[in-house]
Each structure stands twice: as C-alpha cells, then as structure tokens.
Structure 1
Amino acid sequence: MVLGRPWTGFEAVALQEAMRKSVREFAAHLGIEMTTVANWRSGLSAVTPRPLTQELLDTLLVQVSPEVRERFEQILAEGEQALGSRRLPTRRTVSSAAGATAAGNDAALLARLDDARTLVDRTLAACTIAPSMVELMEERAAGRVLTYTSTPPSQVLATVLPDVLEVQSISTQRQPAAIQSRLSEVTAVLGLLIADALMKLGQIERANFWYGTARMAADDTGNMRLRARVRAQHAMLPYYYGSPEHAVMLARAAQAQLPETADDATALAAAAEARALARLGDADGAESAMRRARAHTAALGEMSSDEAFRFGEKRLLLYLSGTLTNLGRVAEARRVQEQALRLYRDSPGVVVDPALIELDIAIGYALEGAVDEACEQAARVLTTLPGEHRTTIVVSRAAAVVDAIPEAARGRRTVEELRHLVAAGASELR
C-alpha cells in the first residue's frame, strides 16, 4: 500500500494499470497533463510526483474498488521489472562514456536494429499495417519525443527499439485505413528518433536507412506536417556527414510539403537550407532562407519546449550560428551565439546543442586568426561534455575547428593538443 509514503512514477503507473485506463483517461481522471503520466511511464521509480499530485493519487487509491486495489497491490508485489516486461519499454541506464560507447557500437544491438528496420520496411511496402493498442503506442511515442533531447543517443536506441518491434509485431494484418494511418505515424516518429540517434553516433549508413523508413511511414499517412518533418530532420545527416547539396534538396522538399506555411517542420527546413547554402558559399540564398526561417519561427509564437521536433527560438539560434559562421560573419555570429547560450542555460538537461554552438564559436576564433582561443574553446567542449553525449557528431565538429585553422598556424602546441583530443575521441567511438 502506498498511503503513508511518497509515491513514485512506478506506483502511479501501477495504479493506472490496475484501473485499466489509458494515459489520456488516467490523466483526465486526476486532472493533470498527459505528458505528466507519460513521464511517469518513462521514468518509473526515478520520478517523484509533485506533493499535490501525490495527494490526488492518495485520494484516488482510497476511492477505487477492492478489485482495483487488489490488482494494484499485485502489481506492486511483482515489482517494476515485471511491469516493464509486460507493458512498458525496456529501460537502460547509461552512466558513463564507456557505457554509452559500448551501447552505441554494440554489434548485437545494431544488428537487431537492422533486422527491425527490414521488417518494418517490408510491412510498409506490403501495406499490411494493423493496429493494436494504438492509443497506448501513440502515447508512448509522445513520451519518447518529450525526453529525447536530454537522453543519450545510445540509450534512445535501447529504449525505442522495443517500441518499434512491438508496432511491427502487431502490424501483420491489414486494418481500416484510418487505423493504418495512425500506426504509420507512430512508426515514422519512432523511426525518426532512431535515425537521429544513429546520426549522432556516426552510424551514417544505418541512419540513412532509418530516415528512409521514417519517410516511407510518413508518406503512408495524410499527415503533411509529418512528411515535412521527416525530410527536414533528414537534412541534418548530409549536412554533418555528406553533401551540403543533398541537405539543401531535402530541406526544400520539406518546405514543398507545406508551402508558405509556418510550422515547426518548415521553420527547421528553412534554417537547414540556410546553413547548407552558407557552407556552399551561396550568401544570397542563405540570407533568403534565414529570412524565411525567422519569419516562420516568429509566426509560431513563443516556445520554450525542449521536446524533439519542436522548433523555437533556441533551435533557430543554433542554426543561425552555423549559417553565419559558415558565411564568415563572425561578429554577427557571436551575438547570436551569446544569445543562444543564455537561453540554453534554462535547459540544463540539453547539452549537445550548446556544445555545437560553442564549437561554432571556436571555428569563428580560428577564422579570425585567434588560434589559441579556438583550440582552448574546442578542448573545453571535448573535456567537459558528459561522456554519453560526446558522440561522433560532436567530435566531427571539433575536427572542423582544426580544419578552420590557417595552415601556417597548425604546428602550434595548442593545435597539436586539440588534434590529439579529437583523435582520442574518435578512437573511443570506434
């Protein structure tokens, strides 16, 4: 019995399960937000509801029938692991750089991801998608999106994979079109999370395949925003690891899904186009795309959410930082970067975006000829960023700092030290 001691997310979810209510129904019953219940389900015993919410749970537990209370106590007796294996996604804690690296490059896990993607692709191609517990899967996917930006990418792979496999396991018989569309949306969102995590870990080919899977799933729906979002997110992969021209193509394809529409996806796509065009040296094109990105973001209104796929002022400033740095407009870039870092201080759980901005600052120093400052800035990022977030995408941007240093200055001690740090970081990730 919980009465007399604090509730955790595990007990709260156990009560939800005992009452046999969906996340939406349980949240409505308590008068709280659905995202609160989703957080309980993601964190379980690691989450502590607020005191007022604990009082609501106390009251609800007293009011439920003896049958519900008996089921609740049985779930508590079985424990969190039993609950997780029955209804919730597998959870994995990553506590060190070594743990993150091992998970991110675990051959068995990556092979399972490949198998899962193949199964999903075949199902989508055969149009045999069928739903079961669709609402629960939508809510679970929403919870994954909510916590994605603060979760190490290796942990994302380990937790989202069971969700994908669950969707696949129930998608073997064709169902009515409306239900098929909802399941395809879930598949697209989960596929997008996996693709983005793989991109951060430097698993470029696998990430590209998963972006393709997410695109197939999105295109199986009538959701134009989702179609645009998948293409806009995909544009990041060639920007960081491939061809800026391909990034521009994907960004423009995303905007074509929702022409002249202010949306998270079109704002992101315009910003992605600007950054890629700047790298290609197209200053006029980059300026035009920046104007569109700013206009779309302003039309979306104030947005402080760190939820994945949401595009507000902070993420706009991240992209403007890269765009202006690529254009060599260092002084203007620095003003944007200082503003962005101030805003990111309000989101201490989000660490990769600020690290990328600080590396843009380092590149700016290098372009100005301030070689020691550039190297010290990049070295500070590599040595202070938590190991589980020090992934390939960060190490590759640190390498870009070395590349930006004038040839005549590359023999300096600070440059050599940074080069060794980059090489060590790349070696850890192999």
Structure 2
Amino acid sequence: MATVHHWTGLEARALRLALRMSVRVFAQHLGLAVATVSKWEKHLVDTEPRPDTQAILDTALARADSAAHLRFEARLSEAGVAPSASGRRLVPTCPRAWEYESWTDDLDRTVAALSTQHFAFADNLLTRWLHRFAPQELDDEGLYLFARSTALLGDLQRDQGAVLGPLSAQHSYATARQVFVQLDIPRRVAQLDLSLAVVAEMTGELEGAARQYESLTRDDRLSRRDRARARLWVGTALSKGGDHDYATRVMQVATREFEDLTEPEDWAVSHQKLALARRGAGDLTQALALIDIARGSGTAHSPLQCVRLDTAHGHILLSDMATRDDGLLVLDLAARNAARFGLVHQLRCIEDIRTTSEGPPGLRRR
C-alpha cells in the first residue's frame, strides 16, 4: 500500500486523479476550500499543505481502495519525479516494488509473444519499460530486468532480420551482456555470448562463429542444454561452410544429448539441421528421411518453426530435378508465411535458395 512521508501539491493532485474526482469534489471530500486544492494543482512540488492538512491527505489515501492506490502510484511513476527533501526541486524516482512485479509479468508475456512471432505486441511490452527508466536510476533488481528486456529485444530484432547496426540484435545483446557482467551473473553472460555467436553466423562469419560455439560447448557457465545447442550450431556453421560430413558427426552428438535430456523441440531441430547437412553432402535420400522425422515430431507449433521446416524441406526437394516443382511450391508456402509474420531473415534465406537453384542443376538423389 502506498505511503507518502511528505505531501506536496504533486502528490495531492495524483491522489485526486487516482480517486477520479474533480477539484471541487476533491475539496469537498477533504473538507477544504476549493482555492486550497487549486493552489496545489497550480504549484505542485512548490507548495506544501499545512501539517494538519497533511494528516487529512494521509487519511484520504489510507481510506482509498486498492485500485485507487495502484492508480495513485502509477500517476507518480508516470510523472517521473518525486519531491526532494526541501520540496523545491525535482529528483528522479526509482521504480517501486509493484512496478518490478509488473515488469516481470510483462517479460513473461514477451517470451510467450516471441514464441509465436507476435512481434508488435512483444516490442510494445519491452519498450514501455526500456523507455521508462534509465539504467542509472535502477538498483540491482531493476538492472537485471533491464538487461533481460534488452536481451529479449535482441531476440526480437534477430528474428526480424535486424542483426547489425545501432538498432540491431548485435547491439542489444552486447548491451545486455555488459549489464550482466556488471551484476556478476556468469550464466547470463555466457548465454549472451551464445546469442552473439548466432549473430556472427547469421552475418556470414562462419569460421568465427564455429570457434565461438566450440568454446561454449565446454563452458561450465552454461546449462547442459545450452552446451548441446552450442554443439549443434557448431555443426550448422561447419555445414554452411561446406564441411558437411564433419558437421553431420558433430550434430549427431548434439542430437543424442537432446534425446538424453528429453528435449523434443531441440531434438526435432537437430534433425532438420542434419537433413540440410546431408543435402549439402549430396545424400538426398537420407536428407529427406531426416526432414520427415523433423516434420513428423509434432513440435513445430510456432510460425517460425513451421517456416524453417518448410524452407529446409523445399531446399531438399529443389536439389533433385525430379522433385524440383514440389520444392518450389513448398518454398512459396514458406515465403508467404515468412512475409505474413515479418520473418525477414527467413525471407532472405528463401530468396537465396531460389536464386541458387536457378543455376546449374542440383545434385541427383542417390
């Protein structure tokens, strides 16, 4: 419940608005003259109620219901200021406990929105907090929420294809990493190292990304699942670089780890990536078998997962002249869904596959 240690016109006005009263009704509610309340409204922190009036305001706040208390705190927070000890100047406010709770709830909602590619909603949830407080205003709890929000903003930017530049996944991940270093939370720092390696891979720095992934497969700061993901992504970078056979062996190790950990979604993703590695090696029969396993796992619930699966499936089909037309149809479906959900990076991948397929005939199925 809100408590005011020293009332000024600012808090008095916030209470009036929280109670949803006009100046006249609020004055009647307090048993004061309308002119007194009007003076508070005009001068805000530059005026202070008399001691006996401070007590009247204390009573009015204490008698307000919980909804009015929340509105009162929100009004003060939105003002972005609090009275100084003298009441004559403004100083920044710090977030209150209820704001941290709301922020945490919004981060949970953001994770859910990102999992289904509701980017506009996720962006709104994140920016409302990132624009509300400057890092220097926050204590350690607030900094943790700020860093988590910034990391999730990086995830959003990555999925939308903004990977480089000042408004990019790379910038957001680096900012979040710096805050987690300051807070001395090694696990979060390592997770951001993994995310930055993904950005490096997406921008074509395959050799560097593979080295980063490889080092993270042995990093005790990460969970076993994250280390298995790093191993899988070592294989992805190697496969993109043309080393398909070695990539397959690395991915198979990661696949077994996901099975041991009972992680069905990661297990399905590993089969999708294995399928692409086998396509690159020219083993289209095995590639189709692996992509069928991934498609039949029942784990592709989000638009992004479906687009990735269809893209991989279409790529494999397009590699054989006998199934080329089917491949183009599957890629068209993937492109429509990618455009619908704003998956810019996936659209670029699909366009690259189409462009490449227009060259010499692909590999024939063995």
Any unmatched runs of 5+ in structure 1?
1-66, 89-129, 305-311, 411-430
Distance 1:323 1:136, change over 3 A: farther
- Of 112, 119, 125, 1:153 maps to 119
Aligned partner of 1:294 in structure 2 is 255
Aligned partner of 2:25 in structure 1 is none
Helix, strand or coil at the partner of 1:281: coil
Preserved contact between residue 324 and residue 333 of structure 1 (Cα < 8 Å): yes
Distance 1:70 1:138, change over 3 A: closer
Distance 1:266 1:220, change over 3 A: farther
Aligned partner of 1:143 in structure 2 is 109
Q: Residue type matched to 1:215 in 2?
A: R
Give the alignment of 1:324-339 within 5 angstroms. Answer: 324-339=278-293
Aligned partner of 2:344 in structure 1 is 392
How far did residue 316 of structure 1 move?
Answer: 3.3
Give the alignment of 1:59-98 within 5 angstroms. Answer: 70-72=65-67
Greater relative CO, 1 or 2 (CA 8 Å, sep 6+) = 1
Aligned partner of 2:267 in structure 1 is 313
Partners of 2:264 and 2:237 lie apart in 1 by 25
Helix, strand or coil at the partner of 2:296: helix
Distance 1:359 1:342, change over 3 A: same
Q: Does 1:238 align with 2:209?
A: no
Give the alignment of 1:152-171 within 5 angstroms. Answer: 152-166=118-132, 168-169=133-134, 171=135
Partners of 1:314 and 1:75 lie apart in 2 by 49
- The number of equivalent residue pairs is 281
Superimposed CA distance per residue, residues 296-327 of structure 1 (whole angstroms, 9 cap, x where no aligned partner):
323422456xxxxxxx3344344434444444
Q: Residue type matched to 1:381 in 2?
A: A
Distance 1:380 1:302, change over 3 A: closer
Partners of 1:70 and 1:246 lie apart in 2 by 59
Helix, strand or coil at the partner of 2:154: helix
Preserved contact between residue 266 and residue 296 of structure 1 (Cα < 8 Å): no
Q: Does 1:355 align with 2:355?
A: no
How far did residue 330 of structure 1 move?
Answer: 2.9
Distance 1:318 1:136, change over 3 A: farther
Aligned partner of 2:171 in structure 1 is 209
Q: Residue type matched to 1:398 in 2?
A: I
Superimposed CA distance per residue, residues 256-311 of structure 1 (whole angstroms, 9 cap, x where no aligned partner):
4328x75232122111111111111223541343134224323422456xxxxxxx
User: TM-score, normalization: structure 1?
Assistant: 0.55
Q: Does 1:198 align with 2:157?
A: yes
Give the alignment of 1:12-161 within 5 angstroms. Answer: 70-72=65-67, 133=97, 134=100, 136-161=102-127
How far did residue 396 of structure 1 move?
Answer: 0.9
How far did residue 398 of structure 1 move?
Answer: 1.0
Helix, strand or coil at the partner of 1:242: coil
How far did residue 354 of structure 1 move?
Answer: 1.5
How far did residue 358 of structure 1 move?
Answer: 1.0
Q: Residue type matched to 1:393 in 2?
A: H
Q: CA RMSD in A?
A: 3.7
Q: Residue type matched to 1:71 in 2?
A: S
- Aligned-residue sequence identity (percent) comes to 13
Aligned partner of 2:136 in structure 1 is 172
- Of 189, 213, 218, 2:148 maps to 189
Superimposed CA distance per residue, residues 208-235 of structure 1 (whole angstroms, 9 cap, x where no aligned partner):
2112112223333443332232222333
Q: Residue type matched to 2:240 in 1?
A: R
User: TM-score, normalization: structure 2?
Assistant: 0.64
